[in-house]
Chains A and B, each alone.
Chain A
């Protein structure tokens, strides 16, 4: 769709909207304060954890901090970071369109030659770039974990990729709300609502369903290969994240008979998470791109294809000036 057009054109990276977002974001002290607070929260958590565990171990092993404990620290940090991301991403993205609308700059931006997809995607990417910066700034905290061992760099890389995906998801939802709702405050509330749903509601639903299913599970004469409850946990980011460190979790989540060694989970939790929410991301971005400018109500049937065809035709004409700018830089 339009998404591919833009990225394929390669003009997205030097897009003026993206350039503007980067510049203006970095001109507020707020960004640096957010970065500072974020890293401090995570750092304090790590220090607190070490303090507590070494304190507890003092009586037993004389203050040693062994790899298995550092593994636990890694899990704690990773989940804490995921929760922090869940708090930060909506705050960064839920106001990007509605904020411009409220400041009355959106109208002017919409009369320029920038396509709807360029505006939406640039705004999303600039917010995500800032989130990535924040997450990278927490890397030194993770060095504590590496100091004591127990975790491989590739695991860390996977976790960071997972964060990236989660940010993309929450960011896409935030931008969609920001386009649909006229006021930032409503958009922020709705985005946090969706985030809460993804993080908390799926977890609670899993635990509830698990209790119900477990009662009837072993009563049957022939136990089924696996239970569907696992699919609910696969919608939960924490569940999916844990399944990256501990692949065995997927099997447990689907209640695969533990006696059965050949038994496998129907799908790894993180993979299900990735697949389901990829569709959500694409859907949310599609809505945002369509709704940022007024939607034609007439000719509803061919509307489905028409705007995209129109956009790609327009894009070809636009390519020249965009290319010119690139050479220029």
Chain B
């Protein structure tokens, strides 16, 4: 559905994209993550036909973004990271305008727009001027706008940025709904846990290069070589910490008021053996668990000085 190959873009003598490649299948929700300035927005602008790449190919549904921009525009819904609205429009007029811009007949729009407003929970704001909407509402309105022409592909550049936690959850629910509708979605963010539960795949970009790409679980397990164990005891914590430092597979031990953190490079079997040993030493263990490696850690791990390239 989306195909990017060796895409490069430079601004002056700054290489913003440096031969990036990725493929996203139809119906996939693709999380595009990377630190500030990595080149996420640049990639998305190229896909949205707003920017021309210096070299490389970007295709949407088989149409090249530079050769057939009209065909591409017909198939994508794009939500930029920063956008403005025409303040003096009412909410439904705003959607009517974009609907008309895609050549949708008025009778059709009359049916469509209430549905879209329903989807983004703005039905009660139909008559309100866009000017008076809150940030989160404008964001949802913009999302509704990107859906007017029923695009196959959605390109969402940080759709939840600047939203409060509640609005983020609402945005996430809407995106899940869109996923159920079978849209191919590419969504960027630097807040990773937010993506974790709804994306099928992630691509991690840094300095204009793709540093890791694949299923969330794959990338997570790749990093599980270095797991963190969390041990809490009723007493003699410092003594145990000192003993653990001499164990095999243990690279680092931290001890504080919350308990002991052990950086452990062994697999499940070694982990089990370690637990057995601690119990054999007759320490009063309250808990022994493996800290969840979340996307945040994955992200920090991968982008650690770009070493993973």
Please report A residues at the B interface, Cβ cutoff 8 Å: 16-17, 19-20, 23-24, 27-28, 103-105, 107-114, 293-297, 310, 314, 318, 320-322, 324-325, 328-329
Contacts and interface: CB of A to CB of B under 8 A. Distances in A.
Contact of B70 (A108, A113, A328, A329): A113
28 contacts: A16-B100, A16-B101, A17-B101, A20-B86, A24-B86, A28-B88, A103-B84, A104-B82, A104-B84, A105-B83, A107-B48, A107-B80, A107-B83, A108-B78, A111-B50, A111-B78, A112-B73, A113-B70, A114-B101, A294-B52, A310-B70, A318-B103, A321-B102, A321-B103, A321-B104, A321-B105, A328-B106, A328-B107
Given A16-B100, A24-B89, A296-B52, A108 B80 contact: yes
A111 B70 contact: no
Nearest to A118: B101
Contacts of B73: 111-113
Contact of B145 (A107, A108, A110): A108
In this complex, which of A20, A114, A296 has the most chain B Cβ atoms within 10 angstroms of its Cβ? A20
B66 interface: yes
A105 B102 contact: no
A204 to B, nearest CB: 40
A325 B66 CA distance: 29
Contacts of B50: 107, 110-111, 293-294
B63 interface: no
A16 B97 contact: yes
B76 A111 contact: yes
B106 A329 contact: yes
Interface string B64-82: 0010011001101010101
Contacts of B66: 296
A109 B94 CA distance: 12
Nearest to B104: A321
B85 interface: yes
B51 interface: yes
A14 B72 CA distance: 24
Contacts of A297: 52
Interface string B189-221: 000000000000000000000000000000000
A20 B82 CA distance: 22
B139 interface: no
Contacts of A107: 45, 48, 50, 78, 80, 83
Contacts of B83: 104-105, 107-108
- Contact residues of B: prevailing secondary structure: loop
Contacts of A314: 70
A113 B52 contact: no
Contacts of A320: 103
A55 to B, nearest CB: 47
A27 B93 CA distance: 13
Given A108-B145, A325-B103, 10 more contacts: A16-B97, A17-B101, A19-B97, A19-B100, A105-B84, A108-B80, A109-B101, A112-B102, A310-B70, A324-B103
A24 B51 CA distance: 28
Nearest to A28: B88
Contacts of A293: 49-50, 69
The 7 closest A-B pairs by CB, nearest first: A321-B103, A16-B100, A104-B84, A112-B101, A103-B84, A324-B105, A328-B106
A293 B65 CA distance: 13
B98 interface: yes
Contacts of A324: 103, 105
A9 to B, nearest CB: 12
B106 A325 contact: yes
Contacts of A104: 80, 82-84
B139 to A, nearest CB: 13
A17 B278 CA distance: 73
A113 B86 contact: no
A294 B86 CA distance: 23
Nearest to B110: A328
Nearest to B49: A111
A114 B99 CA distance: 11
In this complex, which of A17, A112, A324 has the most chain B Cβ atoms within 10 angstroms of its Cβ? A112
Contacts of A113: 70, 73-74, 101-103, 149
Nearest to A119: B101
A322 B100 CA distance: 8
Contacts of B52: 294-297
Contact of B105 (A20, A111, A294, A325): A325
Contacts of B51: 294
Contacts of A111: 48-50, 73, 76, 78
